Amino acid sequence: MNIELSPKEMGRYARHLAIPEFGLKGQKKLKAARVLVIGSGGLGSPLLLYLTAAGIGHIGIVDFDVVDESNLQRQILFTVDDVGKSKSETAAKRLKGLNPNVEFTVYNTQFTKDNALDIIKDYDIVADGTDNFPTRYLVNDACVLSGKVNVYASIFRFEGQVSVFNYPNDDGTRGPNYRDMFPEPPPPGLVPNCAEGGVLGVLPGIIGSMQASEVIKVITDVGEPLNGRLFAYDAATFETRILKIRPNPKTHIDKLIDYQQFCGMMPSAASQEIKELDVHELQTLIDNNEAIQLVDVRQAYEYDISTLDGERIPLAEITQHINKISKDKKVIVYCRTGKRSKTAIEELELLYKFENLYNLKGGINAYATEIDTSMAVY
């Protein structure tokens, strides 16, 4: 493919062109590249901004979520006017305004084992900005099966990690992948996601920018990518470490699997059977003095924002406190929006055979919006 830069592009990327090791050759490689970014949230925001600004020719964005006000603390692609809108579509629109020379393909859909290989096949590099283990293993396995480089990053509280997986070595072999480092996921609930455990708002900007740097290095062959190495950063202490990763001869990936089941979560068919009630039904139970128990699976700081005075048991600790959950009355489990409470019910029903649990649809935010407007929505 004969890639050329227009005079306007030459001016736009002048600072790249001035780098002797990078120059026009490197910029042309960026323009010829196709990068798939999975997730446009905390990591995806800085990653997408810098890849777009750098002049990647084609960027795919996979994200089926919508913008929530709580995202704005760290997801710098979005504003208050974007709340409720599609993340992937909103991101593409803003990024096009940043650099009209870049082409975007939006995948406003969940990344699953059924569509992963089909989506990935059209791209040179995949950048993983996800925040959950099922998708993280899926991205890794799909990249290995497709022969694609996986530029990985993760964040939690004050800590961030970056690495480059499945990198092609000079001898024709591939560098380590995510399963060489973590063959199996941790038990459900042991490692909370960012919604449950929190994340320092600036951390995704730091780590996402490093992730963008690794993508650019892989594309241009400039510098030394984090192949076989994991970079770890602690924002609280400003300490960094680089850990070596070696291929594990026992690692064998020959197909995509059910990643929800692999990570110890209920299969989707079972998830559909969870009993639910809406906030109006809950209010009727309260007004009628029905014998119910409310279980709040949020974190302590969330309880201080708004509460229904339920028994607070954080999701990560739910299986450690089953003695606090009644089996003799209707138990309504709630969180901020209904996602974590659904996960809690799945675990309790699977492991301890509870049959009296109900998920509060929309969570406490729905109650604050539809029932008690004096309560805070966050």
Domain residue extents for the chain: 33-262, 268-370
pLDDT (average), residues 288-311: 92
Catalytic site residue 335? yes
Encoding tokens for residue 136? Answer: 């993280």
Q: Is the model's pLDDT at 268 over the cut of 60?
A: no
Choose the CATH number for 268-370 among 3.40.250.10, 3.40.50.720, 3.30.499.10, 3.90.226.10.
3.40.250.10
Contact 262, 137 (CB under 8 A): yes
Q: Is the model's pLDDT at 315 over the cut of 60?
A: yes
pLDDT for the residue numbered 270: 42
pTM for this predicted structure? 0.77
d(CA 66, CA 208): 20
Q: Beta strand pairing status for 149-156 and 159-165?
A: antiparallel
User: Which residue in the list 335, 344, 345, 348 is annotated as catalytic?
Assistant: 335
- Distance set, CA 210 to CA 35, 51, 203, 221, 309 (Å): 16, 11, 11, 16, 42
Q: What is the largest CA-CA distance in the chain?
A: 76
Split at pLDDT 50, 70, 90, the class of 269 is very low
Catalytic site residue 263? no
Architecture of domain 33-262: 3-Layer(aba) Sandwich (3.40)
Amino acid at 314: P
Cβ count near 79 (within 10 Å): 11
User: Which residue in the list 142, 194, 230, 279 is annotated as catalytic?
Assistant: 194
The helix (H) or strand (E) run that includes residue 164 is strand 159-165
Q: Is the model's pLDDT at 266 over the cut of 60?
A: no
